[in-house]
Amino acid sequence: MLKNWQGNVWWVCLAVFLSQAGFNFAYPILPFYLMDYYGLTEQVRRDFYIGSFALAGNFGFLIFSPLWGRLADLFGKRMMMIRANGCMMVLLPLIGFMPSPDALVVLRFVIGVFGGVVVAAMTLVACSTPANRRGSSMGMVSSSMFCGSLSGMVLGGFCAGELGYRLTFLLCGVLLGGATAISIWLVREEVTPPPAGTRILPKFELPRFGRYWYLMLLMVATGCVQQMDGPYLPVLVNLVLDSGSRIAMRWNGILGGACAAAGIFGGYLIGRCCDRYPGERVGMTAAVAAGLLVIPQALVTNLPLLFCERVTMTFFVSGFSPVAQIWVALAVPEEQRGSYLGYSVSFRCIGWLISGLLAVGVTTLFGTRAVFAVVGILMFGLAWAIWRISGAIPFPNARATARHTKSAESAGS
């Protein structure tokens, strides 16, 4: 355990903030980039490439997450933060130079392969923070993620409108360069080198998770509800305003920033609640509240009402990742925590892929708005899944876990 773990958490949060700011400088303006730069104005083709772009990144992330989780256990989570930030610093600015939408989808796959900043940061914090402060610390990382998203979405939307797309994509690399520098020089981690002869590459076989399969299925369900409607929010803003892509891009940035601001408080407060109250009840409450708020977005025609519904919904949705990841971090064996969290990301990516395929089908058959109604139904399904899984693997009490760890350390000394 690091002596100055509190300071380290703050540096990790700053690196995550800059990383997410850089990523969200580019990501929310991509639907408008597809329309303006590649001329994809037809609804079916536009939505197809929006969905394909999201699917490609999630697919690359899914395939390589077990490898990064294994390398994190062997060589440290800090190294994975450096790797992910450095690779995105180089790759994201290339978005502005792709010759076709198909090339853009291929690039997104490569970005997904080398991504994983947040999961590396979450795992580092989970492994270096006292158990009774793990929920709040992981909630701080989640809040930093949303805070970075806030800054990136707002500034990216304005920069794209004033400076153009390519310069905006280049600025992404600058922010990610800052995240890389912090990860190299300021973030700390105690790492024990692996013994000679240790297998580096993970075995590509179905892991024997035992009862922890329930938690992996929870990660699938979490991924389904978190990613399905996000790529289509800029299109919904454009439909509500009906005033051109430049104005819609600015308002989408403002809406994204407001949502991220809600996520800052939501991720931290819901993480804190998991330290104090039964985590499964916290997760169920957040899922039901989010479901009640997302369904009306399928029918909204007023921008202020969309703001209220979306921002409040994001407050609750921001708690899904802390609840699920805290559950995994506290329930699994400590010496394998990095691997389990790495696999949990892979299963969440499976949920992203399922939701992406479902979103493409829904938008093709029923239009963009229908995807928001489907997400609301999936939110209620997530609440049911949390309730059922808690019967098989009770959510560990963080304070009890901390007392047990302290007693074990006292007995060992």
pLDDT tens-digit map of 366-406: 888 999 999 999 999 999 988 888 888 888 765 544 444 44
DSSP state of 368: T
Tell me the helix, strand and coil percentages in the chain, rounded to 5. Answer: 85, 0, 15
CA dist., res. 286 & res. 386, Å (int): 11
Which of these, 400, 408, 407, 269, lies nearest to 330 by C-alpha position?
400
CB count in 10 Å sphere of residue 181: 16
Question: What would the two tokens of residue 363 be?
Answer: 């938008």
The stretches of 242-302 forming alpha helices (DSSP H) are 245-276, 279-294
166-191 tens-digit pLDDT: 999 999 999 999 999 999 999 998 88
Q: What's the first-to-final CA gap in the chain, in angstroms?
A: 15
CA dist., res. 49 & res. 62, Å (int): 19
CA dist., res. 200 & res. 193, Å (int): 12
CB count in 10 Å sphere of residue 189: 17
Which of these, 157, 177, 179, 176, lies nearest to 257 by C-alpha position?
157
- In the chain, count of helices (H) and strands (E)? 17, 0
CA dist., res. 290 & res. 228, Å (int): 14
**Under-50 pLDDT residues of the chain:** 400-413
| Element spanning 21, H or E | helix 5-26
**pLDDT of 205:** 61
User: Positive or negative CA dihedral for 13, 17, 18, 22?
Assistant: positive
Domain 5-191+210-401 fold? Growth Hormone; Chain: A; (1.20.1250)
- Length of the chain, please? 413
**pLDDT of 328:** 81
Task: Show the CA angle centred on residue 246, arms to residues 152 and 101, nearest 5°.
Answer: 75
